[in-house]
Amino acid sequence: MCPNPTDSQWFSAMLNLIHWRGVMIRKRFIWCARWCLFLTVSLISVALSASIMLLSLSKDLPDRSEQLADLVRQNTTMSQQLSEMQLSVDQRLQAQTQQLEHQAQISLRLSRLQRLSLIDAFRVIAVTDSKNSTVVRLQVGDMAQLTSQALENPFDVRLIQPGEYAVITELVFSDG
């Protein structure tokens, strides 16, 4: 059954309802504003507590940024110095290695000359010692002295010049 708008009782009831609705809206608005204020205060409290805690923690850690920057600078300089020193050591070690190789080469060249010592009697007139071979000009009593050593000490005979009291010969020693 529908209400009749011309009914005064119904009209009075509707007016009361509109008034009640306005009151409820205002109360709700005030309630919301209070909650906003409460949230703001709460958040400020939390932020303040966190700030105090962070300040306190920060205070426990002294500011050492300058010391750190200085240390980083020192370490950078020291690293550069160490690189130069390492390079210097490498050069020196390389020189030592070269010396050992060089000593081995000289030793090899000297060993060519040492082969002469197996000949019984001889006199050395000249020596030309180059990288690959050694040419020795020497005097021997006779060539038979050389042939007796030929198998153990291979060499090339480049010159035979017989003389009255000695034979002059040139021998070529090589590493092969």
Partner 1 sequence: MVNVQQWVARHTNVVLITWFVAVAAVLGGFVVKPLFDRYVARLIDQRQLIEQTTRHQRLHQRQLALSQAIEAIDAASHPLDLMALVTHLSDIGEVLDVQVTSDQWVVNVAMSDQSDVGAIYDLLSRISGLAVDTLTLQTMDGEQQLRLLLEPSDAVWLHTVDTPLPELAWDDRLGELSTCPTLRLRAQLGEQFQVVMNDSDRLSIATGDWLNADWRFLGYRDQQFILKNGLGRTCVKPSS
Q: Which of residues 77-116 bind partner 1 (CB under 8 A)?
A: 78-79, 81-82, 85-86, 88-89, 91-93, 95-96, 98-99, 102-103, 105-107, 109-110, 113-114, 116
Scored b (16 or more CB within 10 A) or e, 137-153 reads: bbbbeeeebbeeeeeeb
Nearest 10 degrees: CA dihedral of 11, 12, 13, 14?
50
Each residue 2-21 as x (binds partner 1 by CB under 8 A) or -, in order, gives --------------------
Total number of residues that touch partner 1 (CB under 8 A): 77
Looking at the DSSP bridge assignments, the partners of residue 174 are 133
Each residue 37-66 as x (binds partner 1 by CB under 8 A) or -, in order, gives --xx--xx-xx--xx--xx-xx--x-xxx-
Q: Near partner 1 by CB under 8 A, which window of 4-12, 124-132, 146-154?
A: 124-132
| Radius of gyration of the CA atoms of the chain, in A | 56
